[in-house]
Amino acid sequence: MNQLTEKLLTQGHTKDSHPEYVEWTNWGHFEYTSKYLANTVWETPCGLLKNGIHGYSYGSYMGVVYCPENNNPRFGCPYYDEKPCQHRFNTKLMGWNCVYHQTDRPYDYERSVEKLWKEWDELKALAWRVIGGFCFCMVWDRPKRKYIPKYDPDKCVKEGCKNEVCLITRKPRNLEKVNIYYDVLREKYYRIGLIEDTERTIKKGIKVFPKQVARTDAEAWLQRYKDEITGINNEDYQPLYFSENHGKYGEYDYFNYKVTVQNIRIEKREVRDLLQDLRDAQEGIEVLHASDLIKKVKADKKAKRQQRKEEKERWLQNRHIKNLRRIAEEGINSNGEPASDVLKAWAIKELAKHGIEIEKQLSLL
């Protein structure tokens, strides 16, 4: 319960009878209305003023709830290192923050945080114009008062950078659409008594990205993250663990499972080497292609949807026929009331369309 609620309840207010500037919430306490907060003035410990609160999310730290109802909302400090301040506190969770308190002082823009924030916005805008374009890898460095490069090809890929010239390297970018493909060889060797066997499967044409990216970004990404392509998926963890700890279990004399990434390449589209596929098959390796497996999954889903659709249609048709038979044979409509002769005649004709003949004839036919 916040301080505002305690105050109003002490004064005799209830959730059904309270001042207009508050509202009772589903959390069981009072909160200021957004209209009221927008017309309030707040003050920092150093004397700066803030004009209203427009949209606010509650926060807590070390057991203290910071919100307008407790007269202690938190906002970012408009100063950074321009001047020291004993009231400002900095934490990893909260950042550079300052606690504000509601005040009766008239709002003065010249002594406001809005003025300082606007100055920072203008400084950032000027620093951005110096860059000469838009780049997702440029980050604002407030202590240095400028944007600094923090190059990450993964960010270029995710954001779909379309710059013809990289603003960091100042080199032309190849915007040809490509993807990174690789193959994964899985080998499982086991020995049970006198029986030995090796199963090998290679899955080819696995994509790194769900859609094509610029060649420059793909090359930079591959150069940085090539060693992180392991090819291991969720189905590999159990056999890999069993392979590493096979001596702890008695089912096999020996068990070895390996996952190896091969043939990492950049291509515009998947290119299949049919001769290599044939050579792999002759060596006893089961050859699979990622695109074929994806198509199969999609086809299976489509078939299941079609099956469910047909089953639903059959169910509806059976229910419809059952209702028609009830009307024609028992003379009862869907509401449980006696059916008219006209309705019975219609039901008999509908059943005849489905190849069902009703022996009982109506007098009007």
The model's pTM: 0.64
Domain presence at residue 246? yes
pLDDT of the chain along its 365 residues, tens only? 899 999 999 999 998 999 999 999 988 999 999 999 999 999 998 899 999 998 776 778 778 888 999 999 988 888 876 777 777 665 555 556 788 999 999 999 999 999 999 998 999 899 888 887 888 899 888 888 889 999 999 999 998 899 999 988 888 999 999 999 999 999 988 877 777 788 899 999 999 999 999 999 999 999 999 999 998 988 888 888 888 877 665 566 677 889 999 999 999 998 888 998 899 898 888 899 999 888 999 999 999 999 999 999 888 888 888 888 888 888 888 778 888 888 888 888 888 888 888 765 444 44
* Number of compact structural domains in the chain: 2
Three-state SS for 33? coil
Domain presence at residue 215? no
Residues 198 and 287 in one domain: yes
Domain presence at residue 362? no
What is the four-CA torsion angle of 136, 138, 140, 145, rounded to 10 degrees?
Answer: -150
Residues 100 and 198 in one domain: no
Residues 185 and 289 in one domain: yes
Which H or E element spans position 9?
Answer: helix 3-10
Domain presence at residue 273? yes
Among 108, 137, 160, the domain boundary falls at 108
Among 108, 136, 159, the domain boundary falls at 108
Could you tell me if 198 and 189 are in contact, meaning their C-beta atoms sit under 8 angstroms apart? yes
The CA-to-CA distance between both ends of the chain, in Å, stands at: 78
Residues 104 and 193 in one domain: no
Strand positions, DSSP E, the chain: 22-24, 30-32, 41-43, 49-51, 59-61, 64-66, 74-76, 89-91, 95-99, 101-102, 138-141, 146-149, 177-192, 195-207, 213-214, 254-267, 285-289
Domain presence at residue 166? no
Which residue range forms the structural domain that includes residue 54?
Answer: 3-108
Domain presence at residue 358? no
Among 50, 85, 108, the domain boundary falls at 108
Domain presence at residue 223? no
Domain presence at residue 264? yes
